[in-house]
Copies of this chain bind each other. A is one copy, B any other.
Amino acid sequence: MKYTPVNKRKIINDPVHGFIKIPSTFIYDIIEHPAFQRLRRIKQLGLTSYVYPGATHSRFQHALGAAHLMGMAIQNIRLKGLKITEKEAEAATIAILLHDIGHGPFSHALEQSIIENFSHEDVSRLLMDKLNEEFKGKLDLALKIFSNKYHKKFLHQLVSSQLDMDRLDYLKRDSFYTGVSEGVIGSDRIIKMLNVVDDNLVVEAKGIYSIEDFLIARRLMFWQVYLHKTVLAAENLVARVLQRAKYVAGHDNNLFAVNGLKYFFKNNITRKNLYSKKEDIISNFVNLDDNDIITSTKVWINHPDKVLSILSDNLINRKLPKIIMQDQPFAKNVIDRKIKESIRTHNWNDEDIGYFIFTGSISNKAYSELDDKIKILYNTGETRDIVDASDIFNVSVLSKIVKKYFLCYPGSLL
């Protein structure tokens, strides 16, 4: 008789990729770590669910999905005859798994408000180092790959480049959860077409149309989802709620907040003191997630500070600012008119008006010439940059920065 029970927990059901197998015990340990479990509590797309209600998926799912694609990519590259050791495969998988570990609640909300002087990438790096300590150096190779210090460059490129497993997963996943069906990309086909030349990642020429489609689909997702004007309005609102709360916390010691938030309200962290305070930063940052922001904001609705109260109510009950977008910066007189109307209608003073009426800009480009390029491999063995290889794209159009300006103002104004 033959019967071997298997640890079923090591297979995870993902609606996007199907069954995902956790490839090793060590990777399972990392997934179980509180720092990684925390990603369950951070939505991949922040407040995007205010526009696309289906988009409630977490960074946890995305990290697992990207790791799954890494496994597939490695398997395919091996089939092309390239040797990748088990150690390298595990390290690359860990690197992609942890690539977003330092993400704060609501994407960049904190970065745009209470911790202006460093980015989630900085925190990711601090956290990875800390995990590496805890795991006694077992993350050394993963960190080398992550920071592009390993000689097999393509492993880093799979983790972070213009055609990395991060993008392949998030485009497919965000398209699935938002219902924006035309964002679907041929990740399976692209992965099948990956190869390696001189330690660099390339795409075989047959895959060129899938790459074109990938670049256009990504562009569509940017304008249709990530930079959707209502999403922008919501993200700017949450940032202002936190800014004001930090301001109020300056004189109101009893402002409701969890310790993690209080720390960043009280301390001005800059890149300079980042490393000296890293223990504090990590322990506070890692405690924060979407729930703290929402719970606090709900409490702040009843705060005597009128600005904080209104902003909080607007955020929680989806009374979003109106937003208009255009290709040129807004003329001063247009903004001033809105401000005047607002002062008349709402009686704001000059200092506070900026919480309700503000401008900003966003930009995006489909492809960057400066970053790691997407290289196409021909049967002849020759490689070419996608912008040279494609019949339809050329550098000037594809890598042009598209910049848009927005003006937000209260919904009660016309």
Contacts and interface: CB of A to CB of B under 8 A. Distances in A.
Contacts of A216: 212-213, 216, 392
Nearest to A13: B179
B3 A381 contact: yes
A87 interface: no
A343 interface: no
Interface in A359-376: 366
A209 B220 contact: yes
A318 B12 CA distance: 15
Interface stretch (A93-101, A329-337, A393-401): A393-401
A64 B350 CA distance: 41
A291 interface: yes
A223 B209 contact: yes
A213 B53 contact: no
Given A13-B180, A317-B37, A220 B213 contact: yes
A57 B176 CA distance: 13
A18 B394 CA distance: 32
A154 to B, nearest CB: 10
A5 B379 contact: yes
A397 to B, nearest CB: 5
Interface string A12-42: 1111101100000000000010100100110
A57 B54 contact: yes
B317 A1 contact: no
A258 B295 contact: yes
Nearest to A33: B317
Contact of A206 (B8, B53, B80): B8
A64 B58 contact: no
A233 interface: no
B54 A316 contact: no
A413 interface: no
Interface stretch (A187-195, A237-245, A272-280): A187-195
Contacts of A189: 19, 180-182
A351 interface: no
Interface in A193-229: 195-198, 206, 209-210, 212-214, 216-217, 219-220, 223-224
A19 B182 contact: no
Contact of A219 (B178, B186, B298, B392): B392
B52 A58 contact: no
Given A184-B184, A188-B19, A81 B2 contact: yes
B291 A1 contact: no
Given A4-B80, A216-B216, A393-B397, A14 B53 contact: yes
Interface in A294-331: 294-296, 298-299, 316-318
A292 interface: yes
A233 B316 CA distance: 31
Given A2-B198, A56-B58, A213-B216, 8 more contacts: A2-B197, A13-B52, A182-B217, A209-B224, A210-B220, A212-B220, A258-B295, A291-B295
